[in-house]
């Protein structure tokens, strides 16, 4: 399960706090949420402090977000290493 909480901030930036496991259908939910905000021209910051696990699909999605200038905050060392070692597609 993944809980996504949207926290509005000043200007066009939105912080999304993710909590739980970013796997399977929850990756799709995060993708849809981020996609809607990006289409509106919003800047996104993802707070991953409470994310317990990210599967390969989730890592690919996070790398794609990084390439779109989305900021990731609060990554665990494990997730940081997964992102570092994942191959670009």
CA-based nearest residue to 61, from 21, 84, 30: 30
Predicted confidence at residue 89, as pLDDT, reads 53
Consecutive sets of 10 residues in the chain, 89 residues long: mean pLDDT of each?
A: 87 92 95 95 95 95 95 93 80
* Measured torsion, CA atoms of residues 69, 60, 32, 26, in degrees rounded to the nearest 10: -130
DSSP state of 66: H
CA distance 72 to 37: 15
Q: Is the entire prediction scored with pTM above 0.85?
A: yes
d(CA 27, CA 2) in angstroms, rounded, equals: 8
The CATH code belonging to domain 2-78 is 3.30.750.24
- Domain chopping of the chain, boundaries: 2-78
């Amino acid at each position: 399960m993944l809980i996504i909480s949207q926290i509005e901030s000043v200007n066009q930036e939105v912080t999304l706090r993710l909590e739980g496991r970013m796997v399977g259908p929850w990756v799709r939910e995060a993708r849809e949420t981020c996609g809607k905000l990006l289409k509106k021209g919003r800047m996104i910051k993802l707070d991953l402090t409470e994310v317990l696990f990210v599967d390969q699909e989730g890592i690919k999605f996070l790398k794609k977000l990084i390439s779109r200038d989305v900021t990731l905050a609060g990554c665990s060392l494990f997730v940081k290493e997964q992102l570092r070692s994942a191959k670009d597609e």
